[in-house]
Every structure is written in C-alpha cells, then in structure tokens.
Amino acid sequence: MDSVKIERSIWIAAPRERVWQAISDPAQITQWFSPGTAIQQNGDRISIRMGETDVEVAIIVVNDPPRQFATRNLPEMTITTTYTLDEENGGTRFTVTETGLETLSPEARQSRLEQDGAAWERVLANLQAYIGGKELPFPEGV
C-alpha cells in the first residue's frame, strides 16, 4: 500500500529560532496548540494532563534544533508527526507532516484524514497568531 499522509504548511513572519521555541517548549505549546491543557515533556516522552493523570501521548524521535522535530504516537508508535522549519523570505516556513496513516483501518484512516487535516489548519493559524502576538483565531485549540 502507498504511504498516506497529511501535510500542511504556513509561512510565519518570525525567525526560525523563535518558531522553534514555540513548538518545542511545552509551556508555549500549551498557549497555542491546546489552550488550557497541560502539556509536559519528561525526557523524550510528551504527556498531557487528563483530570489528575498525566497520559503519555508521544515519544520524540527527532530533535534537530531549529530545523526539525518529530514524534511518534503512543502506545502504537504507528503515526509519525514531523515539524520542519525552513528559513524563507525573512521568516520561517513551518510544515507539519503526519505519516503512517496507511497502517490504520480504512475507516480509521478516513476519519483521521478528515479530522486531523482540519485540525492542523486551525493549529497552524493559532501558531502564526501566537508568534505574531495576536488573538488566537481558534482559542479552543485542537
């Protein structure tokens, strides 16, 4: 089966190092990705707070500041999400690519393509606004 992926990209009027801070610092991620949700990093593990429990949701598999950051979902480790930062026109081209969707059942794959495709559009708009010091267009996050 051919690989199935979701890819979204946005240009941000900020240096690559600033965008890197926003996508790699859990305190900043909480501000634009999922406002109101506690996100933590412990070593190479990323967790979110659900009620009184921290739930591990991803493991970091690439950490190449300020160029690329990639995670794999837990516990399955079948979906990889890669964040790529390229200098472009005095700012940063930020691209998110979600791969491994072909490992899902056809129904789950279709659902993920629809939900995550739209979610990444909202997330990228929030990231751009956050870095620009503007109000988030989607304050509820993902």
pLDDT tens for 106-138 read: 999 999 999 999 999 999 999 999 999 999 999
Give the model confidence (pLDDT) of 23-38 as tens digits.
999 999 999 998 888 9
Run of H or E including 96: strand 91-99
Task: Find the angle CA(13)-CA(15)-CA(18) to the nearest 5 degrees.
Answer: 105
Spatial separation of the C-alpha atoms in residues 47 and 38, rounded to whole Å: 8
The whole-number pLDDT of residue 103 equals 93
Q: Are 7 and 96 in contact (CB under 8 A)?
A: yes
What percentage of residues in the chain have a pLDDT greater than 70?
Answer: 99
Domains with residue ranges and CATH for the chain: 5-131 (3.30.530.20)
